[in-house]
Amino acid sequence: MAAVATCDSVAGSTGSAVATASKRNVTSFQKRGPRASGTNDSGPRLVSIAGTRPSVRNGQLLVSTGLPALDQLLGGGLAVGTVLLIEEDKYNIYSPLLFKYFLAEGIVNGHTLLVASAKEDPANILQELPAPLLDDKCKKEFDEDVYNHKTPESNIKMKIAWRYQLLPKMEIGPVSSSRFGHYYDASKRMPQELIEASNWHGFFLPEKISSTLKVEPCSLTPGYTKLLQFIQNIIYEEGFDGSNPQKKQRNILRIGIQNLGSPLWGDDICCAENGGNSHSLTKFLYVLRGLLRTSLSACIITMPTHLIQNKAIIARVTNLSDIVVGLESFIGSERETNPLYKDYHGLIHIRQIPRLNNLICDESDVKDLAFKLKRKLFTIEAGVQWHDLSSLQPRLLGSSNSPTSASLAAGITGAHQHAQLIFVFLLETGFHHVGKAGLELLTSGDSSTSASQSAGITGMSHCARPRALYFKENKSKVGARQLLETREEHLSSRLLILTQAERLCMGRRFFTAFHIFNELPCKGDCICLQTCQTQ
């Protein structure tokens, strides 16, 4: 077998060693793993841990959320030692999926799991994890590994690699895929043997709370206190905290907490606006953050924020979490029947990205994100593809928050990957300037002004005064300077107001130009340029 072949002299066995390597993809000449530079200066250099990679931006060790698209949006992944907070959608249909992806990714990479729930038994949650879509090569590898484990030959030491013996073996779990981030098939269950082979701890609140209560160390609700103690125990006993070096191979602890803050946890923030222990949740998060920061662990929390009565608590919770991602499903809302959204199941909002070891953060330029649950995959797509714009116009009326919103309408149209905006101009004259700037009118209507037609404006709405016009950005990007000139021409008599520029997902130049519009003072009558929200 392969191991025997490598027992020959070094020179003689080179060929066979290469052959072995290519066949099994397990060789002693291993690539050194990612190094965490700077972040963990207390301990020795981090050796490679399966399913992790260092961040390009700040050197933090990252783990995957189990959803490669989300990883990309969060700047590469979830940094070890941070909290990812998922704001649940209204009927809690899609957030458990993200939760399960996170746990499944842990199982595939051989990470230790800690699942906490007040609603379901963690064992049941694990049974329902989605199956990983490993490609065939990985699968074959996996089978071979299992086989090799059983043969006594695998115990023979490979002499060629004597000086590499001290290096840790690359494989940790039975699944040898050390790729970062996997895809999962939501229609299938995780194979039983993978779950059995994994190392996990469950925290089921009804079980824990029935045991005798000790004196509360702090003013947290008993459920939170128990959970904190449980987590701290696991971290300490299994050596995930950097201060006590782990005896065996270093590993990551993935913590998942379901429906935190819901009444099942014994918290009353969902029931009353000013509950007696409204600080329980924030205190819990603070101590949890402290635990995570000093250990090799990452945490995902799903929270029913729409149930929390007091908006101030949500703001505080956001400040105490590192990454906040909100899910907004279309189920039950009027958007479900809106043709604009017919291809999607909801919107995903990236509310907060942490600044770790850095002054800046990796913020994605694309803010319009929608998700869709296909038969097997959960996908996130940038930019909402809006097709038939004319049919949308009445639906969107009144969607902006300006006082004159009745006459304003908006929409986002996606020609390419990015959404394009239709602007509403409230103006009395001077269309041609806009036309010159490269904006093209979409809807057709009253065509009284010949000047506007010659300038490429095809129509306007029938609103009285001020009149509303719908513009679409031309395919040729508008130069910032050109827009500035337009603005100069308008300054004498018109005004430009732009709100919600975050919805603008256009070329950079164009984008910034509008900020100028907004910031410079202008006098007299105004053009009100308003992009409306997608809502």
Partner 1 sequence: MFVELNNLLNTTPDRAEQGKLTLLCDAKTDGSFLVHHFLSFYLKANCKVCFVALIQSFSHYSIVGQKLGVSLTMARERGQLVFLEGLKSAVDVVFQAQKEPQPLQFLREANAGNLKPLFEFVREALKPVDSGEARWTYPVLLVDDLSVLLSLGMGAVAVLDFIHYCRATVCWELKGNMVVLVHDSGDAEDEENDILLNGLSHQSHLILRAEGLATGFCRDVHGQLRILWRRPSQSTAQRDQSFTYQYKIQDKSVSFFAKGMSPAVL
Segment near partner 1 (CB under 8 A), from 152-160, 198-206, 244-252, 517-525?
517-525
Give kind and range of the element (H or E) at residue 269: none
Question: What is the CA 456 to chain-centroid distance, rounded?
Answer: 41
Instruction: Using the minimum distance from each CB to partner 1, give the nearer residue, 104 or 252.
Output: 252
70 near 325, Cβ under 8 Å? Answer: yes
Instruction: Using the minimum distance from each CB to partner 1, give the nearer residue, 199 or 499.
Output: 499
The reply on whether position 316 binds partner 1 by CB under 8 A is yes
CA 272 – CA 344 distance, rounded (Å): 34
Which 8-state DSSP code applies to residue 295?
Answer: B
The reply on whether position 513 binds partner 1 by CB under 8 A is yes
Give kind and range of the element (H or E) at residue 143: helix 136-150
SS3 for 529? strand
- 62 CB contacts (<8 Å, ≥6 apart)? 52, 53, 54, 55, 71, 76, 77, 78, 79, 80, 180
388 near 339, Cβ under 8 Å? Answer: yes
The reply on whether position 258 binds partner 1 by CB under 8 A is no
Residue 408 identity: L
Residue in 380, 314, 324 with CA at minimum distance from that of residue 353: 324
Contact pattern from residue 481 through residue 500 relative to partner 1, giving x for each residue in contact according to CB under 8 A and a dash for the rest? ---x-------------xxx
The reply on whether position 85 binds partner 1 by CB under 8 A is no
Residue in 188, 223, 190, 222 with CA at minimum distance from that of residue 205: 223
CB of 535 to partner 1, least distance (A): 14
Of residues 25 through 44, those in contact with partner 1 by CB under 8 A are 38-41
The first and second tokens of residue 17, run together, are 């060693």
Return the number of other C-beta atoms located less than 10 Å from residue 274's C-beta: 10
Instruction: Using the minimum distance from each CB to partner 1, give the nearer residue, 108 or 281.
Output: 281
Instruction: Using the minimum distance from each CB to partner 1, give the nearer residue, 274 or 492.
Output: 274
Give kind and range of the element (H or E) at residue 19: helix 10-24
Among 26, 170, 209, 287, binds partner 1 (CB under 8 A): 287
Residue 277 identity: N
Segment near partner 1 (CB under 8 A), from 9-17, 89-97, 291-299, 417-425?
291-299
Among 520, 523, 524, 535, binds partner 1 (CB under 8 A): 520
CB of 240 to partner 1, least distance (A): 13
Instruction: Using the minimum distance from each CB to partner 1, give the nearer residue, 249 or 282.
Output: 282
Report the alpha-carbon angle 414-68-355, nearest 5: 90
The reply on whether position 216 binds partner 1 by CB under 8 A is yes
Instruction: Using the minimum distance from each CB to partner 1, give the nearer residue, 498 or 527.
Output: 498
The first and second tokens of residue 474, run together, are 């031309």
Segment near partner 1 (CB under 8 A), from 104-112, 189-197, 214-222, 427-435?
214-222
Of residues 266 through 285, those in contact with partner 1 by CB under 8 A are 279, 282-283
SS3 for 41? coil
Residue in this structure with the two tokens 């009100």, named with its chain if needed = 528
Among 480, 482, 489, 525, binds partner 1 (CB under 8 A): 480
Binding site for partner 1 (CB under 8 A): 38-41, 58, 216-219, 228-229, 232, 279, 282-283, 286-287, 289-291, 293-294, 311-312, 314-316, 319-320, 355-361, 363, 365, 367, 480, 484, 498-504, 508-509, 511-516, 518-520
